[in-house]
């Protein structure tokens, strides 16, 4: 079977790990020469060779030693024609084991002790002249005896393998698990071949033979292009890839390692309620990237929809894509926190028969200072008793950490300059664009959505430029826009029919004045036209006010813009552009690139945990009735909004950071600059820090590509690489397969661009728009995820607004239940796991690249570059000239600082989309 490189272990290993000591060989009879050829059918081969097994015996006395004797093949040339190799096998145990698992461990120790637990077969890089396949030798290790290890959950044991001196260099190991349950194989190291150990990095779950009789293939840590594959490994390389693709049939089982594609047809629950039915995403009407296929049966009421698995049952992902134990514990703790923040307020809301609004700003502050209190009313005494017993916290519970946005300045969110600053240095800094011309026009059908001209005319803008002409502002590139009009207006009518939802489609104009301060100067909020409305009555204009009424109306308008921004950020920039679009790259990489391929090895750290976190999101975040629908403006139409954005605006070639900045007019091409582009606003923290990371990634990718590919011909002739890219386009992004903008993979430059873009999306791009969710969104007035009221115009509501504008503002925000629910989820999504692997950390790559000193040097330079970038960013955050990251009450911009500790830190760039 194909050896997928699984999530990297948290264990830091030296290249040559210690073994349990010298081993004695018990050879049955005279069976001394037993080198066989490899047959592609792995099942029959395992049965055929079992009769000629060389068994290794490990005694307790021998296990005390922690050193390895490395034997040189030259020392035994001509002495019997045989050489003795030593295999050191390292496995990792669960940190928390149940009683029954401990009993099973004892049984497994006995089984392995008699040589019936694990079978390993060593495959040579050389061809057997008889079978025309790789030579192989076999051994069954005895004993499950832990050696001296600094890691309490790591076990090492050894086995001896006797091979002829002409066996050749080992290239692969076949591992058969004869036990009743799986185990986690860290690696296998073969000693005795010349002076250097041969490392087989595994970091994979080895399934039981009872689940699947096929052996697992583990290749050594040498990278080979397909044309460079040693003759003895060619069959294995093909078999490996074939087995991991599956046949597209049947329901996947937990032990499977099958990577295949499916549409997003599992978000709804039509069998439970027609209101929970959701359209399939990934069809012409609603295009979308593909997800990992699970193969569950269809629902009864809709044959096109796949039945769901609800918590706590897991959704299938290939076995090596699941969370490791540390990550699982961290995520479970986050889910428990979310449960306590969501379930208990839900009970409180049910018992009080209402969904309560915040009545004053001090009630929001209590979430951080005091926590949530339950009143001593008879109807919710049950809840008070429950929390007293379960949580042992008395009446006070559910306390939140103070978000970074209000830690330094409680009132920063009210200021226009802070509203604008967050478009450049907040959690969603990727929607601001240069305003390039007037009039501002919609691309929507005028007969359905009204006049295409915006109410934000040249004359309106001229009044807000404080003496500068519009022509000057255009010439100096000082006018910017955040335009959600066309993306949201087709959904507004349906959204506003949902209970507790009222939204507009917004446009916001910002002005970058000569003091280098960005400020919003005009907002347009639009509703779809109605038969009775005039051509312009569906568009409302708001500008900064100089009186109390205008000031409050302006703040309500900004809140509606923030609500639009929060929805587009979550559904498009975060979920679609990083999570969903990464999934096809990961599936194709496993299906089409051998684990020996240098591009697989390069991309592997950037695929960790993504399929698992995406599966969990389909289960409880983006599903029908899930957190996103409950807490964000689009409600049940959320994923349709995401699909519409994919259809209208997603392009792979514009996902590269420089290309995206140029497309938005935030940068211009400039070959004289270090990054090839010059920013229109130099104090643009996301872009300026992001370009540092982008350039470092590109430099690493260039080094790898130039090292393995001498010319363009070697790229076009790389069958695995070309099939990989074709599959990403034609299967992973099937609905976009005919677009002309897909890069052609025919030069080193195009390959460098593709790989740099994928790594950037998985690392820097995701970090910049994910780990600030709680620091910026944890304070509801700063970033409401939905609004519940339109801005009052006339009549009793307007009169009430004049009497109590604070009440109107707060009652328009999410309810206490909605706010605390989304805060808990944002807190979980902003949390780094203790086993996080950050960009530039190379220790976990040692076994994969150690064979090639030059490549290892590339990664060491990349790590040093990340340290240098961290220093540059820290210096920028202290520069008083950079007003978007320094000043009174201004938090530093740290979202692209490469490293972080665990928890909600607002910094750190992991290798992969891991949360």
Are 455 and 557 in contact by the 8 Å Cβ rule? The answer is no
**597 has catalytic annotation:** no
Quote the CA–CA distance of 610 and 912 in Å, as a whole number.
7
Residue (of 809, 798, 767, 793) closest to 910 by Cα position: 767
Least confident of 74-83, 594-603, 704-713: 74-83
Q: What is the pLDDT of residue 122?
A: 93
**574 has catalytic annotation:** yes
Residue 566 phi/psi, 5-degree rounding, is: -65, -40
Phi-psi region of 281 (alpha: psi -120 to 50; beta: other; left: phi over 0): beta
Taking only the tens place, the pLDDT of each residue in 313-370 is 899 999 999 988 776 676 665 555 555 455 545 545 544 444 789 999 998 998 887 6
Are 771 and 894 in contact by the 8 Å Cβ rule? The answer is no
Quote the CA–CA distance of 882 and 893 in Å, as a whole number.
11
Catalytic residue among 485, 560, 569, 574: 574
Q: Which residue has the higher pLDDT, 187 or 536?
A: 187
Taking only the tens place, the pLDDT of each residue in 443-491 is 999 999 999 999 999 999 999 998 899 999 999 999 999 999 999 999 9
Q: Which residue has the higher pLDDT, 856 or 492?
A: 492
Count of positions (residues) in the chain: 915
In DSSP terms, 85 is beta-bridged to 161
**221 has catalytic annotation:** no
Are 836 and 911 in contact by the 8 Å Cβ rule? The answer is no
Q: What is the pLDDT of residue 161?
A: 85
Write the DSSP assignment of 564-622 as a string of letters.
Answer: HHHHHIIIIIIIIIIIIHHHHHHHHHHHHS-TTSHHHHHHGGGGTTHHHHHHHHHHHTS
Catalytic residue among 579, 597, 606, 844: 579
Q: Is the pLDDT reported for residue 55 higher than 50?
A: no
Residue (of 453, 426, 490) closest to 648 by Cα position: 490
Q: Which residue has the higher pLDDT, 41 or 467?
A: 467
Structure tokens of 746?
Answer: 């025919």
**844 has catalytic annotation:** no
Are 588 and 745 in contact by the 8 Å Cβ rule? The answer is no
Beta-carbon contacts of residue 49 (< 8 Å; ≥ 6 apart) = 36, 121, 136, 138
Catalytic residue among 89, 123, 890, 915: 915
Angle (nearest 5°) at CA 416 between 413 and 419: 55
Taking only the tens place, the pLDDT of each residue in 664-715 is 999 999 999 989 999 999 999 999 999 999 999 999 999 999 999 999 999 9
Residue (of 321, 223, 201, 865) closest to 602 by Cα position: 223
Angle (nearest 5°) at CA 726 between 722 and 727: 115
**766 has catalytic annotation:** yes
Average pLDDT, the chain: 84
Taking only the tens place, the pLDDT of each residue in 842-860 is 776 666 666 788 999 999 9
Catalytic residue among 342, 428, 770, 877: 770
DSSP state of 728: I
Catalytic residue among 766, 832, 844, 848: 766
């Amino acid at each position: 079977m194909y050896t997928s490189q699984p999530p990297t272990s948290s264990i830091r290993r030296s290249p040559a790990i210690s073994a349990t000591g010298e081993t004695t060989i018990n050879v049955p009879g005279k069976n001394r020469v037993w080198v066989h050829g490899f047959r592609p059918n792995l099942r029959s081969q395992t049965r055929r060779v079992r009769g000629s097994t060389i068994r290794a015996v490990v005694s307790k006395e021998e296990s005390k030693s922690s050193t390895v004797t490395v034997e040189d093949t030259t020392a035994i040339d001509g002495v019997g024609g045989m050489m003795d190799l030593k295999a050191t096998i390292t496995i990792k145990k669960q940190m928390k084991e149940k009683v029954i698992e401990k009993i099973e461990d004892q049984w497994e120790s006995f089984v392995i002790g008699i040589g019936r637990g694990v079978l390993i077969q060593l495959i040579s890089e050389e061809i057997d002249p008889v079978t025309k396949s790789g030579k192989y030798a076999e051994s069954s290790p005895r004993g499950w005896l832990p050696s001296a290890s600094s890691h309490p959950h790591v076990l090492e044991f050894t086995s001896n393998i006797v091979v002829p001196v002409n066996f050749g260099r080992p290239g692969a190991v076949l591992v058969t698990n004869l036990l009743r349950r799986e185990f986690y194989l860290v690696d296998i190291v073969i000693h005795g071949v010349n002076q250097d150990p041969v490392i087989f990095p595994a970091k994979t779950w080895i399934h039981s033979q009872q689940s699947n009789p096929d052996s697992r293939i583990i290749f050594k840590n040498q990278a080979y292009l397909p044309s460079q594959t040693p003759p003895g490994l060619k069959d294995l390389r093909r078999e490996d890839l074939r087995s991991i693709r599956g046949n597209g049939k049947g329901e996947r089982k937990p032990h499977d390692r099958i990577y295949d594609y499916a549409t997003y047809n599992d978000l709804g629950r039509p069998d439970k309620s027609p209101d929970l039915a959701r359209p399939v995403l990934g069809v012409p009407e609603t295009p979308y990237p593909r997800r990992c296929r699970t193969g569950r049966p269809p629902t009864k009421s809709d044959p096109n929809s796949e039945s769901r698995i609800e918590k706590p049952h897991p959704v299938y992902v290939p076995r090596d894509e699941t969370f490791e134990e540390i990550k699982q514990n961290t995520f479970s703790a986050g889910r428990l926190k979310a449960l306590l923040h969501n379930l208990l307020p839900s009970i409180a809301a049910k018992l009080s028969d209402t969904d309560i609004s915040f009545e004053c700003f001090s009630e929001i502050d209590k979430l951080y200072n005091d926590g949530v209190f339950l009143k001593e009313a008879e109807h919710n005494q049950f809840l008070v008793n429950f929390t007293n017993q379960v949580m042992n916290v008395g009446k006070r519970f559910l306390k939140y950490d103070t978000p970074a946005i209000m830690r330094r300045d409680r009132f920063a969110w009210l200021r226009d300059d802070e509203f604008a600053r967050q478009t450049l240095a907040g959690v969603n800094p990727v929607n601001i664009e240069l305003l390039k011309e007037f009039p501002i026009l919609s691309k929507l059908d005028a007969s359905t959505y009204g006049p295409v001209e915006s109410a934000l005319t040249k004359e309106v803008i001229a009044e807000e430029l404080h003496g500068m002409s519009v022509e000057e502002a255009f010439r100096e590139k000082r006018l910017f826009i955040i335009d959600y009009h066309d993306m949201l207006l087709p959904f507004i009518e349906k959204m506003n029919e949902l209970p507790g939802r009222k939204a507009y489609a917004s446009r916001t104009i910002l002005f970058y004045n000569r003091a280098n301060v960005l400020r919003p100067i005009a907002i347009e909020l639009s509703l779809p036209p109605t038969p009775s409305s005039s051509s312009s009555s569906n568009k409302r204009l708001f500008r900064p006010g100089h009186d109390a009424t205008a000031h409050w109306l302006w703040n309500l308008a900004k809140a509606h813009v923030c609500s639009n921004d929060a929805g587009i950020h979550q559904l498009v920039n975060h979920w679609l552009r990083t999570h969903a679009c990464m999934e096809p790259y990961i599936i194709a990489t496993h299906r089409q690139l051998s684990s020996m391929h240098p591009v697989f090895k390069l991309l592997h750290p950037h695929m960790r945990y993504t399929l698992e976190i995406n599966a969990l999101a389909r289960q409880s975040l983006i599903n029908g009735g899930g957190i996103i629908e409950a807490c964000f403006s689009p409600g049940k139409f959320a994923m349709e909004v995401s699909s519409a954005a994919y259809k209208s605006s997603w392009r792979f070639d514009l996902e590269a950071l420089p290309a995206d900045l140029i497309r938005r007019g935030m940068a211009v091409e400039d070959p004289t600059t270090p990054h090839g582009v010059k920013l229109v606003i130099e104090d643009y923290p996301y872009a300026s820090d992001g370009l540092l990371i982008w350039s470092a990634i590109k430099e690493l990718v260039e080094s790898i590509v130039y090292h393995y590919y001498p010319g363009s011909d070697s790229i076009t002739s790389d069958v695995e690489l070309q099939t990989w890219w074709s599959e990403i386009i034609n299967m992973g992004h099937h609905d976009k397969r005919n677009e002309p903008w897909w890069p052609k993979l025919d030069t080193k430059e195009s390959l460098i661009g593709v790989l740099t873009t994928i790594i950037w999306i998985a690392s820097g791009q995701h970090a910049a728009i994910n780990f600030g969710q709680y620091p910026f969104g944890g304070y509801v007035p700063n970033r409401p995820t939905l609004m519940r009221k339109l801005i009052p115009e006339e009549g009793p509501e307007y009169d009430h607004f004049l009497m109590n504008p604070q009440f109107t503002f707060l009652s328009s925000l999410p309810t206490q239940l909605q706010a605390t629910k989304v805060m808990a989820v944002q807190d979980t999504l902003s949390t780094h796991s203790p086993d996080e692997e950050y960009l530039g950390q190379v220790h976990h790559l040692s076994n994969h690249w150690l064979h090639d000193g030059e490549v290892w040097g590339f990664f060491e330079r990349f790590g040093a570059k990340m340290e240098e970038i961290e220093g540059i960013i820290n210096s920028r955050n202290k520069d008083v000239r950079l007003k978007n990251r320094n000043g009174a009450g201004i938090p530093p911009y740290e979202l692209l600082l490469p490293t972080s500790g665990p928890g909600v830190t607002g910094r750190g760039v992991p290798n992969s989309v891991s949360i």
